[in-house]
């Protein structure tokens, strides 16, 4: 009778974990959520058997096995929150928490310091707290409070839909955390573990939240759209190249016809001088469109980014690559100056993502120069402790303080609707933070705007 509820909850959790994994793929948030569901399933499933244990010896074994699942559970839940809230800077605390959980598991298996046997209640056997269970309770409290703080703070810079998803996760984690009331039974302070009631509602909210996060389907949609757009762009580029190859002969033949009176001269002679540059302009616009597509795909894949693929890259080479591939309009390249810095400086991250960050910052700086009709862009770098600082400074029109406070907010833009969507600087912030660094903006109106990227440097051998 008493074992039915934990048995039902364990099955419910396992169902939601498998459902999320199968429908949304192997995303970081999805895998962390699956870890939470598996551990909860083991915990509640073993408790169903513990309540029906025939003797003390069997109950002690089941209690220890159940606590093997319980000890890492708060850390895995914290791991899920880090991925959902996109806070890679918390990974050092996550690793420390996993290490503490591992130590407690070893002590659990080798001594009575964590769980000191079992007690018999009216509903069956239940674990008896050892002296070190208090350490786990303190750890759990700290992780839950930190998780709730991350989910609440993440809403400040989130778009409306993402904010609702974070609110769902906040409610789900808060409800799940109430299951910590079960610790009271370990000290003999409750007649029945009440946490199972709260656990039953947690998976519904968390699973709905992660399904709403939809960490897989946006990429599939974006990839499909990108493919469909790239095909006509490639055709346009090839046709422009063909026009560029054929144009000199056509122009030569036309001029011969005009010179020999076979046709009238052009009404606008200057038009003939502009036509040869059209093919190059078309190719530049195609390259610009490809850059936009690449950045959009990179923005979506940030949700699925495996940070284990990060590697050391030359900062100088990334700057050179960005300047070589950026689709500058005529004369724009002349506004960019690069101060010399060492080619040996290597940051840890993704060279492709950093290139797209530079694309965004260059695009914004060139737009400001075009509007202000003055200024230039200066790119420099220098070491700073365990980081390298990459600075992009333009001397155009600056950013007012009221705007500067919001420039990293999603979908915030001061540009016209057809010239900006407000996602570029948000993308830059997310990329740099994914590397384990941070980005800052400093500006004085009518003088300059300075973006500094603090990138983690390669550890010395």
* DSSP codes, 355-422: HHHHHHHHHHHHHHHHHHT---EEEEEEEETTEEEEEEEE-SS---HHHHTTTTSTT--SS-TTT--S
Cβ atoms of 164 and 214 closer than 8 Å: no
For domain 309-461, give the CATH number: 3.30.565.10
pLDDT tens, residue by residue, 307-342? 677 889 999 999 998 898 887 887 888 899 999 999
Residue 130's pLDDT is 92
Residue 147's pLDDT is 93
Cβ atoms of 394 and 377 closer than 8 Å: yes
Nearest to 292 by CA among 424, 422, 428, 417: 424
Half-sphere exposure of 457 (CA within 13 A, CB side): 16
Percentage above 70 pLDDT, the chain: 74
* H or E element in which residue 164 lies: helix 160-177
The β-bridge partners of 121 are: 124
Residue 332's pLDDT is 86
Judged against a pLDDT cut of 60, whether residue 227 lies above it is answered with no
* H or E element in which residue 453 lies: strand 448-456
The β-bridge partners of 389 are: 382, 454
Structural domain 4-215, CATH architecture: Up-down Bundle (1.20)
* pLDDT band of 1, cuts 50, 70, 90: very low
* H or E element in which residue 13 lies: helix 4-24
> How far is it, in rounded angstroms, from Cα 43 to Cα 73?
9
Give the residue with greater pLDDT, 453 vs 85. 453
Strand segments (E) across 205-345: 311-314, 336-338
Nearest to 319 by CA among 362, 355, 353: 355
Q: Is 326 helix (H, G, I), strand (E, B) or coil?
A: coil
The β-bridge partners of 364 are: none
Nearest to 12 by CA among 150, 176, 146, 143: 176
Angle between helices 424-435 and 351-372 (to 10 degrees): 150
Number of C-beta neighbours around residue 404 at 10 A: 15
Q: Mean per-residue pLDDT for 431-452?
A: 90
| Rounded alpha-carbon distances, angstroms, from residue 393 to 108, 247, 326, 376, 405 | 56, 41, 17, 8, 18
Q: Mean per-residue pLDDT for 100-105?
A: 96
**pTM of whole model > 0.95?**
no
Q: Mean per-residue pLDDT for 49-60?
A: 89
DSSP annotation of 335 reads G
> How far is it, in rounded angstroms, from Cα 35 to Cα 199?
15
Q: What is the mean pLDDT of the chain?
A: 80
* pLDDT band of 3, cuts 50, 70, 90: very low
């Amino acid at each position: 009778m008493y074992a039915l509820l934990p048995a039902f909850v364990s099955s419910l959790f396992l169902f939601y974990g498998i459902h999320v994994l199968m429908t949304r793929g192997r995303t970081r948030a999805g895998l962390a959520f699956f870890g939470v569901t598996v551990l909860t399933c083991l915990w509640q499933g073993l408790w169903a058997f513990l309540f029906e244990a025939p003797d003390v010896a069997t109950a002690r074994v089941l209690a220890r096995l159940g606590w093997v699942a319980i000890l890492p559970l708060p850390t895995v839940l914290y791991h899920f929150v880090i991925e959902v809230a996109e806070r890679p800077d918390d990974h050092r605390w996550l690793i420390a928490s996993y290490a503490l959980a591992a130590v407690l598991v070893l002590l659990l298996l080798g001594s009575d310091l964590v769980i000191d046997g079992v007690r018999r209640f009216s509903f069956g056997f239940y674990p008896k707290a050892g002296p070190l269970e208090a350490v786990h309770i303190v750890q759990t409290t700290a992780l839950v409070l930190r998780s709730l703080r991350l989910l609440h703070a993440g809403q400040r810079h989130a778009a409306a839909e993402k904010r609702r998803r974070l609110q769902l996760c906040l409610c789900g984690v808060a409800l799940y955390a109430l299951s910590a009331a079960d610790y009271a039974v370990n000290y003999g302070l409750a007649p029945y573990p009440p946490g199972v009631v709260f656990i039953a509602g947690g998976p519904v909210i968390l699973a709905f939240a992660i399904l709403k996060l939809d960490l897989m389907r946006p990429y599939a949609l974006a990839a499909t759209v990108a493919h469909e757009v790239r095909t006509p762009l490639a055709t346009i580029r090839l046709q422009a190249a063909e026009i560029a190859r054929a144009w000199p002969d056509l122009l030569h033949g036309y001029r011969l016809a005009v010179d020999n009176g076979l046709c009238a001269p052009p009404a606008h002679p200057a038009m003939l001088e502009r036509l040869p540059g059209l093919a190059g302009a078309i190719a530049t616009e195609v390259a610009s469109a490809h850059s936009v597509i690449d950045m959009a795909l990179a923005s979506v894949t940030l949700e699925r980014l495996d940070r284990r693929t990060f590697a050391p890259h030359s900062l100088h080479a990334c700057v050179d690559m960005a300047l070589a591939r950026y689709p500058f309009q005529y004369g724009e390249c002349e506004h960019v100056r690069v101060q010399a810095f060492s080619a040996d400086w290597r940051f840890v991250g993704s060279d492709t993502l950093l290139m797209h960050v530079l694309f965004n910052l260059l695009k914004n700086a060139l737009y400001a120069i075009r509007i202000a009709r003055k200024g230039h862009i200066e790119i420099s770098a220098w070491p700073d402790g365990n980081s390298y600082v990459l600075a992009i400074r333009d001397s155009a029109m600056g950013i007012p303080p009221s705007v500067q406070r919001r420039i990293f907010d999603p979908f915030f833009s001061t540009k016209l609707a057809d010239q900006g969507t407000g996602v570029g600087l948000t993308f830059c912030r997310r990329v740099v933070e994914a590397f384990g660094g941070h980005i800052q903006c400093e500006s004085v109106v009518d003088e300059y705007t300075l973006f500094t990227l603090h990138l983690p440097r390669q550890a010395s051998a």
